Amino acid sequence: MNEIMSIVFWSCAGLVVYVYAGYYLCLRLLYAFRTVRVAFDPGYFPKVSVIVTSLNEERNIEARIKNLLELDYPDDKLEIIIGSDGSTDRTVEIASRYVGQGVVVHDFKVNRGRAAVHNDSVRSATGEIMVFTDAETSFDRGFLRQVVKYYADPKVGAVSGSLTYISRGNEFASAEGFYFKFEKMLRNLESRVGILTSGTGACFTIRKSLYRELPGTEDVDFALPIDCIKKGFRAHIEPEAVAYDFPPGTVKGVMKARSRMTAKAFSGLMRLCGLTFWFKHPMAGWGLMSRKILRWFTGFFMAGALVTNVALAGHGGIYTLALMLQAAFYGLYVAGWALNRAGMQARLPSWAFIFVTANVGMSLGILKALTGRVPSSYKRV
């Protein structure tokens, strides 16, 4: 029994270390020997349709439209589509003021979710390149020029910009921002070695010819890059195409976001990637397994490491030391939880609290996917 416990403990602990350190080191090593260069043409200006999915965004929609209208891109090559997903506030009224300035407004009366809005908006779009973004996001003035230049290469199917989180001034948002910086670093390395399998939903672009209508439980930034790879196209990230957004500023926001995104992505993955995908695209499959699937399961690995460590605590000094380290970490988590309940924050406890919370959210997302309870629509937190 102790031997089995030991195997489970080291497997779980090793997988957690691999997810948050080992995979990065493997990518750095691979990058030293393999770099995929993507051709581009800075003078290439295809017709672009920017699609903004919005739900009760009266606070943000006007600023978003103005930001898009001010982009450094030919006016006759830019179409802005505002898709209101059953908004009940003044989102449509405000957006409609800009009709005639290259802005098209779709007032969908029922809240159906992003996928349905994207499907209907793409169907009516006139651009060659679809750009998907959110109402709270903003683009650098040269964003479109930076992403579309890669579509001069016929083998490029999708291009993501580089999202930067703007701090909300609390430790929870700072922890989320740090987490996303780590995620962005991994994606950039994957792009450079040619195994990128996902994009960033707030600044994701794809050829209209490669778009397919999505079921309600799939998102463009996860499903469509995998489609590109399966069809022989490449997905790419351009670090100079900068977009800005805000991380969830509350524990509830982090939990809901991680649960929803994981449930949708994992359920989509089970439909998208049959056995042939892993054999035909082993490197991309390795990246998908390492950065996505294993990370989604990290909460289960952490639980497995803790339970088996408790059982092994009296069987060698290494297990006692490991248990002490875990106890210290979860002690920080409890302190972070208590501080949050008291309306207070401190860096290490708050970061431990948000890390565990995020992994619990992803674990719940996996359980939702496995039990068929994947959400298609969403509500503002």
Q: Are residues 239 and 263 in the same domain?
A: no
Residue 139: phi and psi, rounded to 5, are: -110, 145
Same domain flag for 130 and 189: yes
pLDDT at 316 over 70: yes
The helix or strand, by DSSP H or E, that contains position 351, with its residue range, turns out to be: helix 347-370
Give the C-alpha separation, 211 to 29, whole Å.
34
**Mean pLDDT rounded to a whole number for the chain:** 92
Mean pLDDT of 351-372: 92
In a domain, 3, yes or no: yes
Q: How many domains does the chain have?
A: 2
Indicate the pLDDT class of residue 172, thresholds 50, 70 and 90: low
Q: What is the dihedral of CA 207, 223, 187, 370, to 10 degrees?
A: 170
The residue among 187, 217, 249 that closes a domain is: 249
Distance CA 148, CA 96 (A): 27
How do 129-134 and 203-207 pair as beta strands?
Answer: antiparallel
- 0.85 cut: is pTM over it? yes
The secondary structure of 301-348 as a DSSP string is HHHHHHHHHHHHTTS-HHHHHHHHHHHHHHHHHHHHHHHHHTT---HH
Task: Provide the CA 41 distance to its chain's centre, in angstroms.
Answer: 27
Say yes or no: 76 and 106 in one domain. yes
What is the domain extent for residue 299? 1-33+258-381
Q: In angstroms, what CA-CA distances link 237 with 31, 42, 149, 310, 338?
A: 15, 16, 12, 43, 40
On whether both 108 and 225 belong to a single domain, the answer is yes
Digit-coded pLDDT (tens) for 122-155: 999 999 999 999 999 999 999 999 999 999 999 9
Q: Which tokens belong to 145? A: 């020029």
Q: How confident is the model at residue 309 (pLDDT cuts 50, 70, 90)?
A: very high
Residue 63 inside a domain? The answer is: yes
> Of the ranges 138-152, 159-173, 192-206, 335-349, which one carries the lowest mean pLDDT score?
159-173
- For residue 62, the domain's CATH number is 3.90.550.10
